[in-house]
Amino acid sequence: MNNKRAFYISIIFCFLISIKSLYSSSLNEECLTRTQIEILIEEILNEKRISRYLHADLSSRSPLKIKCNEYIKVSYNITYKSKKILITKNEIYDDLIDIRFKGIECENSEIVLFFDFISKIEGVGILGKANKKNNQWHIEILKEVLI
């Protein structure tokens, strides 16, 4: 019960940050390119506290499936352990992963954003922060809860 409450508080926190970012910069899509998103998703998936939930070695989980959204498009070329990921709008998959970006802030060549990683089949929600500085993404896990 407390884990769910903490997760929802985290979601509300990210929502408030994203409202702030909408006012502080104009939709920030210009600073987050397709290539940067593709690399960022791969970095997120390779983070050890996230990768332990992927089980990409299981045939039932291959290929990995990520839900399409406003930042992650079906046409994107994202891989995990050299295998192409299926990005889909179709929600019929039990192992569909949902990754959402929030609170995107861009200043010069630095990008900071928060993300939610949700895996229903694993019953986990993760709140993280991604920071691109000196052309390198750094991923930090802020909260991990069972859902």
pLDDT value for 1: 56
pLDDT value for 52: 97
pLDDT tens digit sequence for 28-84: 557 899 999 999 999 999 999 999 999 999 999 999 999 999 999 999 999 999 999
Q: Is the per-residue pLDDT at 19 higher than 90?
A: no
pLDDT value for 21: 46
When comparing pLDDT for 2 and 129, which is higher? 129
Q: Is the per-residue pLDDT at 129 higher than 60?
A: yes
pLDDT tens digit sequence for 98-127: 999 999 999 988 999 999 999 999 999 999
pTM confidence score: 0.81
pLDDT value for 10: 62
Identity at 88, one-letter amino acid code? T
Q: Is the per-residue pLDDT at 96 higher than 70?
A: yes
Residue indicated by tokens 């019953």: 123
pLDDT value for 139: 98
Mean pLDDT (the chain, rounded): 88
Confidence label for 25 from pLDDT (cuts 50, 70 and 90) = very low
